[in-house]
Amino acid sequence: MRDRAGHRGIPRRLGADRLPRPREELLDLAPLDRVLAQLDALGLNYQKNDSGYAARCPHHLSDVDRLNFEVVELDNDRYSANGRMMPTGSVLLYCQAYGDLTGPDACSQSNVISALGLWPSDLYPGVGDRRRDDLRDGRRSSLDSAFPSRTPPTDEEIEAWEEKCASYAAAVIAEHGLPMEDLAVRLGVPAGALARFGVGWRCPDYRRVGEATVVGRCWTLPERDALGRITAINRRYEDGEKRVMRGGRRGLYIPDGWRDLPGPIYCPEGFSDAAALVGAGRCAIGRPNVGGGVELLAGLLRGDPRPIVILGENDDRWAGPEGRPAWRRPGYDGAVAACTRLRKALLRMDITAALPPEGFKDIRAYINGKGGLS
């Protein structure tokens, strides 16, 4: 701690005598091993302690024996201070000496990560299209995390997603609208509301199940960025399973004409809640999952004067071991975290988080149970 109290000056960067390994060589490793490999490459010593590893900081020049850089691997899914979902196996980094300083020379997250020759996404399990989940047996999170630091899609990629969606929408028409009618019945949502989200139909559809490729059919749900461009397609199967197509960037479920709908703007989790709200005459933008989509919402809703309500889901209160009360409430916590982050991003305090009334898992169940939204 002498660093922190002692010389609070500008930290000096490491000399360039030793270089990190190219990050491409590390993509198959777990996040913790990526970090340790780079500390090795940079000649920075580290040792195991109670919470993880203590190392020399890669960004500021410290004495050889001063291990004030913390490396912690998460053994549980949790939220970071800014509300981002961090799945099991993610790595937290913190320089005790200069981690709290601001400015270009501080040991900020971006500076320590780039000093390690890594990208922010490298601290999360998996790495986009090249993730090797088979190397992480039993330790992978089942959450769909939107890795916020992936490079944005190119215009060509967006064009390819738009073309796919157009062909799936055409398949609905070729089937005389029957797939849309079917989904409307299953969800209890008017077909007209589904159509506003650009729902399509894919038959045949191919997906991996274990080692096998399964041929089936599914509805396709476009996900969009803050400009309304399609950057991913989620698939919904007849048994309710959902699967995102490979290579996309998770986005928002945005209905046609949303700017003309009366406020407030509801932001529930998932497509079907957003569609149910639009079916009930409300304005709704669906978030891709419990922790994701806030940056996109901020971009989409900036300057919009309507009130914003982040809608969570009611968690099972008795989901703890042997039917005891649950100690984690991801639906509630996620809504509050998303609300907090959106307030900060938009500098607005009139953004609220809300849950469906007691006894209803989500807002679609409530609307269907009540025959509407009063």
Name the site residues for Zn ion (rule: CB under 5 A): 57, 59-60, 95, 97-98, 107
Report in angstroms how near the CB of residue 147 gets to Zn ion at its nearest. 25
Structure tokens at 352: 């609220």
User: Given the complex with Zn ion, which of 59 and 84 has the nearer CB atom?
Assistant: 59
User: Given the complex with Zn ion, which of 101 and 232 has the nearer CB atom?
Assistant: 101
Report in angstroms how near the CB of residue 11 gets to Zn ion at its nearest. 6
Contacts of the segment 363-372: beta carbons below 8 A, 24+ positions apart: 363/266, 363/268, 363/273, 363/276, 363/277, 363/311, 364/187, 364/188, 364/189, 364/272, 364/273, 364/275, 364/276, 367/188, 367/276, 367/277, 367/279, 367/280, 368/188, 368/276, 372/280
User: Given the complex with Zn ion, which of 105 and 162 has the nearer CB atom?
Assistant: 105
CA–CA gap between residue 198 and residue 3 (Å, rounded): 56
User: Given the complex with Zn ion, which of 109 and 352 has the nearer CB atom?
Assistant: 109
Report in angstroms how near the CB of residue 92 gets to Zn ion at its nearest. 14
User: Given the complex with Zn ion, which of 21 and 66 has the nearer CB atom?
Assistant: 66
User: Given the complex with Zn ion, which of 17 and 239 has the nearer CB atom?
Assistant: 17
Q: How far is CA 136 from CA 131, 132, 171, 293, 330, in A?
A: 10, 7, 38, 26, 24
User: Given the complex with Zn ion, which of 59 and 282 has the nearer CB atom?
Assistant: 59
Report in angstroms how near the CB of residue 149 gets to Zn ion at its nearest. 20
CA–CA gap between residue 242 and residue 240 (Å, rounded): 6
192-215: b (≥16 Cβ within 10 Å) or e: ebbbbbbbbbbeebebeeeeeeee
Report in angstroms how near the CB of residue 59 gets to Zn ion at its nearest. 5
Angle at 121 between CA 116 and CA 126, to 5 degrees: 115
Report in angstroms how near the CB of residue 106 gets to Zn ion at its nearest. 8
Report in angstroms how near the CB of residue 95 gets to Zn ion at its nearest. 3
Report in angstroms how near the CB of residue 112 gets to Zn ion at its nearest. 7
User: Given the complex with Zn ion, which of 59 and 364 has the nearer CB atom?
Assistant: 59
Q: DSSP secondary structure string, 252-273?
A: BB--TTGGGS-S-EEE-BSHHH
Strand runs labelled E in 238-321: 242-244, 265-267, 283-284, 308-311
Pairing outcome for strands 230-237 and 212-224: antiparallel
